[in-house]
Amino acid sequence: MNAARTIYDGYITIHNQFYRFYMVLKAANSTKNCKVLVDRALMALFKSEAEVSDIMSQYTTQHFSPGVFLTELIKILESKWLPQKNLPKTPKFYSKLLEELTEIGWDNIVTDVNSTLDPENLQVSLRDSNKRGHVIEVHIPPSYPDQPPTCKSMTPSPLEIQWNPTSSRLSHIISQYTIFFEQFQDFWKNLEDIDQNTCILDPINPTRADTKRRIAIKQHASVLIVISPEYPFSIPECRFLGSPSLIGPIRENMTKNIHLWNPNELTRKNLEVILQLQFPAPIQKDTLEIDMDCGICYSATSEEEQLPDMFCNGKNCNK
């Protein structure tokens, strides 16, 4: 979801299967005249495009909140079709699946020694060109290969799988991910440098899908940065958090020195030059002084997405 709450991009779950869903609203919190796109696997559940239009028009011609729309849509779809796990699977299905898993390599299939392998819900490990380990979650539908697998991985944006029912195989998906991961190499390199050399306040446990970092500058002052996966060495979106007396001079340095930004340098090093400071080294979050009795201070370190838009005037706080 974007900041304006007009774009929703993600997955919906129908009978424990994930389907890609993309919705663009004309106005925030209203589905009237919105644009909806769904992936091919979800479209395959409908008898025709007319049926899709009939269902969608119930909600896109009136004012509904996105939450209500998605909840009702899922109810309609789940009541309309039986769970695919109840559909019969033929020996040919398993024979083909085992053949393709062998092609991928059993060493690349993530297994738990305490559980049996579920051939329809797989985790495939893959290393990119910089030896980073990735795990791809692969769900195999009963109608495979007529219906493509549903896949997920920790990336800033999802991969749109290219699939041909007559010729595509699981190994082709792995090849697509191999190429897909390469476009994020500079993005991950940039964030790894930040994680290794600064004190990260949020997120607590960042993943390779996260584009944001809130970095400590000094006691009671921090900066929230958003790095573009497409242009990782460009100037990031920056939001300084703290009292005006603390962050005022830092903002001034940002404005005064922005022309010094070097697109061939890491974001952390660029920010240290422009802000004329050195970020504190990584420390454990529980060593930070956080006033849990102050709603403003607590919300700045909570797991909520929304950060405070005011600072605390407490003498012992001043955040």
Containing H/E element for 96?
helix 91-104
Per the structure, how many domains does the chain have?
3
pLDDT higher for 30 or 3?
A: 30
* Full residue range of the structural domain in which residue 208 is found: 186-299
**Omega before residue 263 within 30° of 0, cis:** no
Residue 308 lies in a domain: no
Asked whether residue 216 falls in the same domain as residue 288, the answer is: yes
Query: Whole-angstrom Cα distance, residue 106 to residue 101?
Result: 7
**Omega before residue 145 within 30° of 0, cis:** yes
The CA dihedral of 280, 285, 286, 288, to the nearest 10 degrees, is 40
Contact 241, 223 (CB under 8 A): yes
pLDDT tens-place string over residues 175-184: 999 999 999 9
Q: Which of 70, 39, 40 is nearest to 55 (CA)?
A: 70
pLDDT of residue 154: 95
Asked whether residue 55 falls in the same domain as residue 133, the answer is: no
Residue 280 lies in a domain: yes
The whole-chain average pLDDT of the chain stands at 82
Residue 256 lies in a domain: yes
Return the axis-axis angle of helices 267-275 and 244-257, rounded to nearest 10°.
110
Is pLDDT above 60 for 217? yes
Asked whether residue 276 falls in the same domain as residue 237, the answer is: yes
Residue 67 lies in a domain: yes
pLDDT of residue 202: 92
Residue 228 lies in a domain: yes
Residue 103 lies in a domain: yes
Q: Which of 188, 250, 189, 249 is nearest to 224 (CA)?
A: 250
pLDDT of residue 93: 83
Asked whether residue 69 falls in the same domain as residue 123, the answer is: no
Domain endpoint, select from 148, 182, 216: 182
The first and second tokens of residue 144, run together, are 């495979």
Asked whether residue 229 falls in the same domain as residue 259, the answer is: yes
Asked whether residue 109 falls in the same domain as residue 200, the answer is: no
pLDDT tens-place string over residues 150-191: 999 999 999 999 999 999 999 999 999 999 999 999 999 999
Amino acid identity, residue 123?
Q
Q: Which of 224, 290, 235, 227 is nearest to 257 (CA)?
A: 235
Share of the chain above pLDDT 70, in %: 78
Contact 202, 214 (CB under 8 A): yes
Residue 170 lies in a domain: yes
Is pLDDT above 80 for 31? no
The first and second tokens of residue 297, run together, are 């201070």
- What is the chain's length? 319
Is pLDDT above 50 for 198? yes
Is pLDDT above 70 for 302? no
Domain endpoint, select from 85, 110, 126: 85
Asked whether residue 201 falls in the same domain as residue 170, the answer is: no
